[in-house]
Amino acid sequence: MATTRLKIITTTTALRTQACRRIPTALHSCSARQLTSSANSTVSTSGPLYNTPKSQAKEPFAVFRDVPQLRELRRTMFKEGRQVGLVPTMGALHAGHLSLVKHALEENTDVFISIFVNPTQFAAHEDLDSYPKTWEQDLNMLKELQDEHARSSSPNKDSKIVGIFAPTVNVMYPTLPPSSDIAGDGSFVTITPLGKVLEGASRPIFFRGVATICTKLFNIVQADRVYFGQKDVQQSVLIKRMVKDFHIPTEVRVIPTSREPDGLAMSSRNVYLGERRRQQVAVLSRALFAARDVYKSGQLVGGPIRSAATEVFREAACAEGDDGRIGGPARLEIDYIALSDPDTMNMIPNRDKIDPRRGAVLSAAMLVRPVDKPQTADELEQTTVRLIDNVILEPLEVEKS
């Protein structure tokens, strides 16, 4: 078996373990810095925006709504030999995103942040319309990070966030409306079989949307390096494969997962949880950490490693809370607990052993249902939240060359 699926019923809680550069011909004599200083007056702000405000007030960074102005800046950067990093985001930034930006600032002279809620990676029943939108807060966080970086002792402290690419949907999908239908029309990038397992099995259009939008972003920005978080490990593996298969001239950098003090992986969707559900969900990271400890102790067989994670969920389901309830206020459903090859995400069967020279990826996805007995107006409006997490089981032996 490649994944672990189970269902545990308690009094109130159930667990079910179930990414040819085309440089325009015109060259400009002005510098990249001069271009960014005037970008706010030249960018387009027309068209429907999923993730940008209606206000036209001056922003702390150049904001690009369309492709031509950004490419004008990139022409100058190419001419000047500057090193460019790209951090793709959907907005609703948190400390995890800022960690990616910090790494980009340390490794490049110039950094672009993209903010675009991509409709083609959301199924019809998912949270496209309700996805958090915090534009002004996002820009303030980036400005604070930029100022902090400039004051630091980093040898690369002169590097800067030179622009925010926040395009309209019409810019990113110029010929046809974006389709969330698996059989829908449009120009899409698919990576198989990697895009059909684990997250791809639970969210069939997700990786098609991710691969498509990343291909577009990479082509538009043409960054030397792009930055992703380990939390979305399957996405990172898929993007690396796409870059290799399509000979895209960019380096994919994967940065360790940023976590809350209790271990929960940072995610923009955590804001959906509310106070009581938030207290429950750290069980996801605890389960993965417990399984990692079993691996570190020398266990290489897949089954016992996954069982260690499952046991943590069982214990949480049977624990009595301060209010006397068994389990917790919300039902948790485990979509999968999977042990996978670190390069291909091919799943390792229960009876097989992990190659100690290669290690593995232990990943899981959990559905957090609304609380059983809502106590507030916010709890009455709760919807199911899907959380993912993973840990890297590092090699235990040095691979011989």
User: How does pLDDT run across 166-181, given as a tens digit for each residue?
Assistant: 999 999 999 988 888 8
pLDDT of residue 18: 34
Closest CA to 309 of 292, 296, 297, 326: 292
32-248 falls under which CATH superfamily? Answer: HUPs (3.40.50.620)
pLDDT of residue 180: 84
Closest CA to 284 of 362, 193, 356: 362
Q: What is the rounded distance in angstroms from the CA atom of residue 2 to the CA atom of residue 256?
A: 25
Looking from the CA of 277 toward its CB, the CA atoms found within 13 Å total 30
Secondary structure class of 9 (helix, strand, coil): strand
Secondary structure class of 13 (helix, strand, coil): coil
**In sequence order, what are the beta bridge partners of 361?**
340, 392
Q: What is the rounded distance in angstroms from the CA atom of residue 111 to the CA atom of residue 145?
A: 12
Looking from the CA of 293 toward its CB, the CA atoms found within 13 Å total 9
pTM: 0.85
Please identify every residue annotated as catalytic: 97
In angstroms, the Cα distances linking 273 to 121, 327, 330, 360 are 21, 17, 10, 30
pLDDT, tens digit (0-9, with 9 covering 90-100), for 66-113: 999 999 999 999 999 999 999 999 999 999 999 999 999 999 999 999
pLDDT of residue 342: 95
Q: What is the rounded distance in angstroms from the CA atom of residue 362 to the CA atom of residue 309?
A: 10
The residue ranges of every structural domain in the chain are 3-16+263-393, 32-248
pLDDT of residue 163: 97
In the predicted model, residues of the chain with pLDDT beneath 70 are: 1-57, 320-326, 399-401
Please count the other Cβ atoms lying within 10 Å of the Cβ belonging to residue 128: 16
Closest CA to 172 of 222, 118, 131: 118
Q: Evaluate whether 116 touches 166 at the Cβ level (below 8 Å).
A: yes
Q: Give me the sign of the Cα torsion angle 302, 308, 313, 317.
A: positive
Main-chain phi, psi angles of 189, to 5 degrees: -110, 125
CA angle 137, 140, 144 (to 5 degrees): 140
CA angle 134, 136, 142 (to 5 degrees): 100
Q: What is the rounded distance in angstroms from the CA atom of residue 13 to the CA atom of residue 45?
A: 48
Looking from the CA of 280 toward its CB, the CA atoms found within 13 Å total 33
Same CATH fold, 32-248 and 3-16+263-393? no
Q: Give me the sign of the Cα torsion angle 100, 102, 107, 109.
A: positive
3-16+263-393 falls under which CATH superfamily? Answer: Pantoate-beta-alanine ligase, C-terminal domain (3.30.1300.10)
pLDDT of residue 48: 34
Looking from the CA of 140 toward its CB, the CA atoms found within 13 Å total 5
